[in-house]
Structure 1
């Protein structure tokens, strides 16, 4: 599987699938949330007896653009504040429903059988560990994980040394896949992505002060009229999904919210 093929994971179904079932609760969520949100959604179905939400996973920028183009969704979960701010600036969400739900970290990963060692310290140079290969990242101009990774490498003084070897993916899970399949010797993904794939290992985590805080906001979309939209958001803030999020490595920021 080449780079181009790996970049398309089919994470976001076509608009028509959601439009064909207008009564579904439709959620647009950052790709890095897939494992945790799938588990939380299944628990919600078991708890309430309601139909499973239809969840489209993709990069936050792609989802925000789809909302702007009229794609139907009831909730938007972004992997950074910028794209939720963008949605808010276009009046695509109900601002009174917006909540910062989770926090995350980014890490440098390698295939699980790699013998590479890297210290993410000032002056870091990834060239030796790459050995002529590519550094897999989300798109550094638009995908949140890519933006965070570039910012961290710039802060550590290592970006200029490696920018010519970057393979930019459409979302963070596509970058993870390149490393998992051994097509890239190194990658930068969220800690939660690394935890979700046994074929990769974490070489080092980036210092938290090397990039902006990695925060995940959620909001009900402006055009949503689904009766369960606010209820599912409230559920996500409650005690029920907390274990699913923490198991994947997220930090839950809504610890005071108990409603489910």
Structure 2
């Protein structure tokens, strides 16, 4: 009889434990901020937040294929729109959390003067390869847009070392494997191994926005975390890492 009561007790406990654990899929550029926010939320609410960081494109494809995510945070509108079109997110939960900037970086100690204007010859200002991301990744698309607007894309495309996500691109430049790179301002901010050469004009590329939404079938606890992402506490963390909070 005691064994029966023990089994019943376990059946009652397991669903409660599972309900207090959520999984967040977030774009690689949000890594530090989301880790801090998840830790704070877990401490205050007692909900375990598991995180997975990668390129927004890769995460969106995983969600489309049934990966067990509760919340998705993208680095652009395109991949959130993609999942919306596949009916993989809760439409009414979608919101834009913050924005970012695009910057040109070089390894620490190897900076050189740069003017982000068409009259400047960026391709001739450095030797070797430069790094950003593949075109399916938001930062790769923003980079092409910015370089095209300034008239440099055609000359620089053959010298591109394409990384799978922005943190990998940052690492290439940190190690000196690329002379320059294009990353988000927030990524450059968390590294002491690179220097920012210039910030691309906002009108040279599409706005860098980070939408978040609940994934279809998300656990009830996920709604609270999504709401927390829009709180003043989360906003302070986003701002600390260099994001522009959308109110």
Same fold, judged at TM 0.5 (above): yes
Runs of 5+ in structure 1 lacking a partner? 1-20, 255-260
**Does 1:83 find its partner at 2:76?**
no
When normalised by structure 2's length, the TM-score is: 0.90
When normalised by structure 1's length, the TM-score is: 0.86
Q: Tell me by how many angstroms 1:123 deviates.
A: 4.2
Q: Tell me by how many angstroms 1:122 deviates.
A: 1.7
RMSD: 1.3
**Does 1:229 find its partner at 2:222?**
yes
For residues 115 and 232 of structure 1, the distance between their equivalents in structure 2, rounded to whole angstroms, comes to: 40
For residues 100 and 113 of structure 1, the distance between their equivalents in structure 2, rounded to whole angstroms, comes to: 36
Corresponding residue of 1:36: 33
For residues 121 and 18 of structure 2, the distance between their equivalents in structure 1, rounded to whole angstroms, comes to: 51
Q: Tell me by how many angstroms 1:22 deviates.
A: 6.0
Runs of 5+ in structure 2 lacking a partner? 1-16
How many residue pairs match? The answer is 230
Provide, for residues 92-111 of structure 1, a one-character-per-residue CA deviation record: whole Å limited to 9, x for no partner. 10000000111001000001
**Preserved contact between residue 123 and residue 152 of structure 2 (Cα < 8 Å):** no
For residues 119 and 159 of structure 2, the distance between their equivalents in structure 1, rounded to whole angstroms, comes to: 17
**Does 1:178 find its partner at 2:208?**
no
**Preserved contact between residue 111 and residue 195 of structure 2 (Cα < 8 Å):** no
Q: Structure 1 residues 44 and 119, CA, compared in 2 at 3 Å: closer, same or farther?
A: same
Tell me the secondary structure at the aligned position of residue 42 of structure 1: helix
Q: State the 4+ residue runs in structure 1 displaced beyond 2 angstroms.
A: 21-24, 123-130
| 1:154-193 map, 5 Å | 154-193=148-187
For residues 63 and 26 of structure 2, the distance between their equivalents in structure 1, rounded to whole angstroms, comes to: 12
For residues 173 and 57 of structure 2, the distance between their equivalents in structure 1, rounded to whole angstroms, comes to: 22
Corresponding residue of 1:150: 144
Q: Which residue of the other structure, out of 121, 131, 137, is the alignment partner of 2:132?
A: 137
Q: Tell me by how many angstroms 1:127 deviates.
A: 2.4
**Preserved contact between residue 125 and residue 162 of structure 1 (Cα < 8 Å):** no
Q: Tell me by how many angstroms 1:166 deviates.
A: 0.4
**Does 1:197 find its partner at 2:191?**
yes
**Preserved contact between residue 100 and residue 216 of structure 1 (Cα < 8 Å):** yes
Provide, for residues 146-182 of structure 1, a one-character-per-residue CA deviation record: whole Å limited to 9, x for no partner. 1001100001111111111001110011000000111
**Does 1:128 find its partner at 2:136?**
no
For residues 120 and 217 of structure 2, the distance between their equivalents in structure 1, rounded to whole angstroms, comes to: 46
User: Whose Rg is larger?
Assistant: 2
Q: Tell me by how many angstroms 1:65 deviates.
A: 0.4
Q: Tell me by how many angstroms 1:124 deviates.
A: 4.0
